[in-house]
Amino acid sequence: MTEIVKIVKVGGTAVPMRGNDIDTDRIIPARYLKEVTFARMGDYPFFDERFDASGKKKDHPFNDPEYQGASVLFVNKNFGCGSSREHAPQALYRFGIKAIVGESFAAIFAGNCTMMGLPTVTATHDEVALMMKTVEENPKTKFTVDIETKTICFDDKRIAIDLPETYRSALTSGCWDSTALLRANLDQVKKTAAKLPYIGGFAN
């Protein structure tokens, strides 16, 4: 039986990405949308900002050794704007990002993230600035993003975060993964499908 994964807490170190209106074309350049699967998407986030034409690394937070292995991404306003490409959250997730904390997100981007189990939560401008400053001064700082209680904790601080209740409920109950839900209830799915006149032979 397929396991239903409930996402309640995400913990780890963080990487700051400063700047407003960072769009999906910057997150994942359009030429990588032709990939047949998402398997290699983790190689491509911010590719054109991380490497020059010869493939040499440029100065970028995702290249900084101090932030390697980070699971939390801090961003500013309107992150993920632009096109609705699912490849953007896939690239970030497969790079290792398991939660994104920002001032605001483009609605479609946040929805795509939630559907793949990548929480996008918001905090105030000042609170995001504080967390970015904290991780820049000490990249080893551990953060715990608690989806259930809507808080983020680090050092001796506890900051309130927010996300739509539909997203919070889906993540903490495991309902974000529709494929896993269908597989976990396969007998019921087959019985329902067998009653539908336009799906023949499914139950067999």
Q: Is residue 97 part of a domain?
A: yes
pLDDT in tens, the chain (204 residues): 456 789 999 999 999 999 999 999 999 999 998 888 888 999 999 999 999 999 999 999 999 999 999 999 999 999 999 988 899 999 999 999 999 999 999 999 999 999 999 999 999 999 999 999 999 999 999 999 999 999 999 999 999 999 999 999 999 998 875 554 445 555 665 666 566 666 555 544
Q: Is residue 200 part of a domain?
A: no
Q: Is residue 119 part of a domain?
A: yes
Q: State whether residue 143 is helix, strand or coil.
A: strand
For 128, phi then psi, to 5°, come to -65, -40
Look up the CATH number of the domain holding residue 138. Answer: 3.20.19.10
| Domain interval for residue 77 | 9-194
Give the residues across from 151 on adjacent strands: 146, 160
Q: Is residue 202 part of a domain?
A: no
Q: Is residue 4 part of a domain?
A: no
Which of 64, 65, 71 has the alpha carbon at shortest distance from 96?
Answer: 71
Which residues, 6+ apart, have CB-to-CB distance to 199 below 8 Å?
Answer: 193
Q: Is residue 23 part of a domain?
A: yes
Domain total for the chain?
1
What's the start-to-end Cα distance of the chain, in Å?
19
Q: Is residue 104 part of a domain?
A: yes
What is the Cα–Cα distance from 82 to 103, expressed in whole angstroms?
17
Q: Is residue 199 part of a domain?
A: no
Which of 128, 190, 122 has the alpha carbon at shortest distance from 150?
Answer: 122
